[in-house]
Amino acid sequence: MARIKGKDIYLKADDQIYFGDSQEAALWFDSNELMLNHTISGVDPIADYHLVTKNYMTSSGVIDHGQLAGRADDDHLQYVPTNGSRGFTSTVSGVEPIEANDLTPRDYVIGLIDGSIPVPTPSGEEPPSLIQFSYAIDLTESSTNSTTYQQKLRLTVSGIPSGNYRIAWSYDWRESKANNQFLARVQVDDTDEIFTYVASPYVDVNYWSPVATFYYYENLVSGTHYIDMDYASSSTGATAYIKNTKIEFWRIQ
């Protein structure tokens, strides 16, 4: 039980002091700690060690961020100010963009350039059917009397992704003899012939005949490819002429 010595009250283990008529509060000593099972009221503090009341804290303290002093001070250097006066010191990650101002990662931008990622379009609109355009042009006039194909124009496309492509070409041709035939072809990688043209003999040797067409190349593998426009004469006794030669290369989405 508790004992009183002078003006002091001594509590041993399991000793308790009760307060209130119905023992509403108790004070006791247990495991080297002083225990209390009731709320302790505070006061409006005067000394540093005073227990304060909730009313004092809510009425005297600042709990609204807008009332804090020094909010305009730039003294938190780990944050980037909105005016951009201090930049990031390390890499900042982006996301696949949805909104116009979204920070975009590098791989997404490269994908748009090389065609591996489709070009996004506004909601409700049809996406473009053709992307990743390359071309080659030679407007000069060339000639040969060889019956073996001669290369007039080559388009090299490098580092393309695998997929479907549209290859288009156009040129003007003529022959030096009315009974001779003009020959032309388009090859991919010097092996895959996707176009062969044998012009019928004609009378006017001064007339330039235009040709323009295209080919859908499906499942072209990724990497570097060569598209050639070649031409020849059907006889060594006549000369084949070609000019205004163009090759176009599109990736089909």
Domain ranges for the chain: 3-36, 132-252
pLDDT, position 36 = 79
**Other beta carbons less than 10 A from residue 78's beta carbon:** 5
Q: How many CB atoms lie within 10 A of CB 169?
A: 25
Q: What pLDDT shows up at residue 226?
A: 97
Return the closest-CA partner of residue 186 out of 210, 209, 164, 154: 154
pLDDT confidence of residue 242: 96
Residues in the chain: 253
Nearest to 166 by CA among 190, 194, 191, 189: 194
Q: Which CATH number fits domain 132-252: 3.20.20.450, 2.60.120.660, 3.40.1010.10, 3.40.50.620?
A: 2.60.120.660
Q: What 8-state DSSP symbol labels residue 116?
A: S
Residue type (1 letter), 252: I
What per-residue confidence (pLDDT) applies to 246? 97
pLDDT at 121: 59
Q: d(Cα 115, Cα 163) in Å, to the nearest integer?
A: 10
Angstrom distance (rounded) from CA 77 to CA 88: 11
pLDDT of the residue at 130: 55
Q: Which residues on adjacent β-strands are paired with residue 156?
A: 226
Tens place of pLDDT per residue across the chain (253 aa): 556 666 677 777 677 887 777 777 887 777 777 787 777 777 888 888 888 887 777 776 666 777 777 777 888 888 888 887 888 888 878 888 877 788 888 887 777 766 666 666 555 555 555 567 899 999 999 999 999 999 999 999 998 889 899 999 999 999 998 888 899 999 999 999 999 999 877 667 888 999 999 999 999 999 999 999 999 999 999 999 999 999 999 988 6
Contacts of 219 (CB under 8 A, 6+ apart): 162, 163, 164
* CB contact at 8 A, 227 and 187: yes
140: left (phi over 0), alpha (psi -120 to 50) or beta: beta
